[in-house]
Amino acid sequence: MNGTDREGGPGRGVNGTDREGGPGRGPSRADRDDGPHRADRDGAGRGSGPAAGALLIVGDVVTDIVARHRGPLAAGTDTAAAIRTLPGGAGANVACWAAHWGCAEVRLLGRVGADDVAWHERELEACGVRPLLVVDPQVPTGTVICLVDQGASAERTFLTDSGASLRLGPDDWSPALLDGVARLHLSGYLFFSEPSRALVSVALESARARGVPVSLDPASAGFLTELGVDRFLALAEGVDLLLPSRDEAVLLTGLPDPADAAAKLSRHVPLVVAKQGPDGALVARSGAVRAHVPAVPANPRDTTGAGDAFTGAFLAALLAGAEPEAAAAEGCRAGARAVERVGGRPAGARAR
């Protein structure tokens, strides 16, 4: 799970057997409820033409328990809430939004527990994503409890048990995963456990060897603080595109102004697109902010996954040939649509 305004083992290879619904991709794009804002439907944000190749996302797949309440929690007693169980995870959400926004082939490498692998695979396929899920025989799928205040801003707080996703490691990686891939995208949650940091290292090495560009979403200001800024930036060396939230950009630079923070980060990473929540996005290159893309008005119900939606739509538009500024506009459109839904995924994700 991810948002633009967030403050917040054993087993090898990709599981491809015993899936309910079979190992193939989900419904075609024409069969999905894509809505009128698809980048490939209205032409917005497109450039010279689509890139030849898939988007491979490596990241977390978790189960979200979303509790929507109104007002402060009542300590020591009951607080009424509407509660739903939904598929989630920052990496998985980005993949679903990228497919929803017109990316022709999206693949997701993640790690889940044995009990609910079939459900997660079905939900990813229903969104048009090809799941490459490693089944952990010992640890269950991660779970995130999302407490969403139903006030005007629909802000949320996360309680996170990352579960099997923390055990995605180098033994789960193969350079062959990059066959036919035009871009590799890494969820920042990979940086927050030792096995996953080792996977990041080998994945970056494989991508460099093949000339595949790599993007990264830092994912969590809270976990970034625990890891340490210097360590994170060292691990991210070689990434060509960074997609931080406002809080993450400020944390990574120590600068209080989001524009200054984005500009500073772009001296280290060729392209920085800093998500600003209700203030849109900043596009920075070569030490300067080149564009401020305005947000799209929305009536928020749940801000869970707004940043994931932005990232997925941005990457889809970029792979379709859009310039970064136009791709950021697509990201803002997707983020606006995401906050008007409950959960972190586009239409098609179903409660369990």
Which residue in 202, 166, 144, 181 sits closest to 59, CA to CA? 166
Mean pLDDT of 258-282: 97
Burial of 226 from C-beta contacts in 10 A (0-12 / 13-18 / 19+) = exposed
Q: Which tokens is 299 given?
A: 């009536």
Give the 3-state secondary structure of residue 126. Answer: helix
Reported as a single tens digit per residue, the pLDDT across 223-256 is: 899 999 999 999 999 999 999 999 999 999 999 9
Q: Say if pTM beats, i.e. exceeds, 0.85.
A: no
- Identify residue 184 by its one-letter amino acid code: L
Can you say how many angstroms the Cα of residue 268 is from the centroid of all Cα atoms in its chain? 22
Reported as a single tens digit per residue, the pLDDT across 185-197 is: 999 999 999 999 9
Which residue in 155, 199, 175, 160 sits closest to 4, CA to CA? 155
**How many whole angstroms separate alpha carbon 56 and alpha carbon 241?**
15
Chain position carrying tokens 């500024």: 325
**How many whole angstroms separate alpha carbon 349 and alpha carbon 318?**
24
Other C-beta atoms closer than 10 Å to the C-beta of 52 total 9
Mean pLDDT of 143-152: 82
What per-residue confidence (pLDDT) applies to 168?
Answer: 98
| Confidence tier at 303 by pLDDT (50, 70, 90) | confident
What is the DSSP code (8-state) at residue 296?
P
| Confidence tier at 335 by pLDDT (50, 70, 90) | very high
Residue 3 has pLDDT above 60, yes or no: no
